[in-house]
Amino acid sequence: MALQDIRILVALDFGTTYSGFAYVHKENPDNIETNHTWPGREGVFKTPTALLYNETYTQVKSWGDLALEEEPEYMVDDSEERSRPIELFKLHISDLKDNQKPWLPSQLNYKKAIEDYLTQMQILIKSTLERRWPAIRFPQQVGFVLTIPAEWPNNTTGIMRECAYKAGLLSTLNSAHLEFTTEPEAAALYCLNVVKEHNLHPGDSFLVADCGGGTVDITSRKLLHDNKLSEITERIGDLCGSTFVDKEFLQFLGRKVGFQALETLKRCNYGQMQHLIQQFFCNLVKFKFKGDPTTFKPMRLILHRYCPDLQEYVTGELKEKMEEAGWIVKLDFESVKGMFDPVVDKVIKLIDGQLKEARDRCSAMFLVGGFSESPYLLNRVRETFRDQVPIIAVPALPIAAVVRGAVAYGLNVEIVQERVLKWTYGIEVCRSWVRVICYFVRFDSLCTKILFTLIYILCNTSFLGFG
């Protein structure tokens, strides 16, 4: 991004579950700042990727933390449709089957949700930059870098560009003020800041696992001279982020109270559902679980403390069992481990595949992203790969790795010297027709005709690839 009129560079990490941005003035490139002030909350680098609309889903009432904190009013008629927070809408760009994609109301398509969320981001980014640099013209003097998952469809950048333009981040649809980089590449660039701490030198290779809320993306890089990188394998990714552990928790709870009861709670009192997941499961269980049965203490989920309305929706035999248990659900070691393992196993498989694909020995592995702060995930990765990779670490501020690395990319797009392409363009070239060969096969048997025709094609046709 070398356009002369760009004074400020902004990187935007639009994530499945959380989003954030960082920025820098081009005259002071070492002073990258990560935003930590959001509507309703301060001191954190990201805010939930969530929207709360009015009843007709035509106007945004709140976004981020405020969208999840606002509790719906009590409804007498459980069948009544009402506005509830919109989350995980980014997954509608992915290759997930339609029946696996998150719920959206019929009045709202996913592109409009993305546009509306980016509009709220644009308002905050604009006010933040104008407070720091009042003379800056927005967006004319601002360049943007948007990050995208590694394995998402080819049209992802087109969709995001369109939404960014409609959200007011760009002056024109085809503006050169927007660059894209993949989330694992941005994470790898962030890790350039820590390779010296681990005594890595030019020629050494390292793996970066960006473990987010929705996706986990893996890339392998080689450290070059002048603090630059080359990609040594094709980057890969899958939908196995931390929110899928949350889903396993809800599956566990659904077997205790009934899935219909959970669905009714979600529809009628989404605030309590979020309170249950965030305040109980995430804060007390998910990011404290280490996978050590000798130190694990069984947890007690007191339902009326986190979701008091849930009791009204439980019926039949399950209600009798819960009444006998005092509406308390016990989480033992095996139950919690069972919530993690299906997801962590996928992450392990991704890393293993990447290590096998790379020809060079991997000198270090860095885990970044919000899920990397899970002690159990880190322990499992270390147990599995400690004999293959000597250094397995989580750098400082792992949740901000992607957005800060994206700023580094925007400052110097040539910092990545080589990439491994998933596809290549090609041209099929055939030599001129040779009458002698065709005359020869004309008078022979059918089998000979086929044989010599194949020989001719193989010997006189070449495929040229351009990477």
- Choice among 289-293, 387-391, 426-430 with the minimum mean pLDDT: 426-430
- The single-letter code of the amino acid at 85 is P
CATH numbers and ranges of domains, the chain: 8-182 (3.30.420.40), 194-394 (3.30.420.40), 425-466 (no CATH)
- Choice among 85-89, 369-373, 381-385, 425-429 with the minimum mean pLDDT: 425-429
User: pLDDT tens digits for 167-219?
Assistant: 999 999 999 999 999 998 999 999 998 898 999 999 999 999 999 999 999 99
Give the model's pLDDT for residue 79.
Answer: 46
> End-to-end distance of the chain based on CA atoms, in angstroms?
22
Task: Confirm if 71 and 84 have CB atoms less than 8 A apart.
Answer: no
User: pLDDT tens digits for 22-74?
Assistant: 999 999 999 999 999 999 899 999 999 999 999 999 999 999 999 987 544 44
What is the C-alpha to C-alpha distance for residues 144 and 8, in angstroms, rounded to an integer? 9
Read off φ and ψ for residue 417, nearest 5 degrees: -85, -35
Read off φ and ψ for residue 119, nearest 5 degrees: -65, -45
Nearest to 19 by CA among 35, 33, 4, 40: 35
User: pLDDT tens digits for 235-277?
Assistant: 899 999 999 999 999 999 999 999 999 999 998 888 899 899 9
Task: List b or e across 383-395, with b for residues whose CB sees 16 or more CB atoms inside 10 angstroms.
Answer: ebbeeebebbbbb
Number of helices (H), then strands (E), in the chain: 14, 22
Nearest to 44 by CA among 64, 69, 30, 60: 64
Give the model's pLDDT for residue 360.
Answer: 83
Give the Cα-Cα-Cα angle 280, 62, 240 (nearest 5 degrees): 45
Distances (CA, A) of 284 to 256, 276, 336, 417: 19, 11, 12, 43
- The single-letter code of the amino acid at 124 is L
Sheet strands (E) in 142-284? 142-148, 178-182, 205-211, 216-223, 229-231, 236-238
What integer is the mean pLDDT of 344-350? 98
What integer is the mean pLDDT of 157-169? 97
Segment holding 410, helix H or strand E: helix 401-411
What is the C-alpha to C-alpha distance for residues 9 and 448, in angstroms, rounded to an integer? 66
What integer is the mean pLDDT of 360-387? 96
What burial class does residue 283 get, using C-beta atoms within 10 Å of its C-beta: 0-12 exposed, 13-18 middle, 19+ buried? exposed
What is the C-alpha to C-alpha distance for residues 209 and 217, in angstroms, rounded to an integer? 6
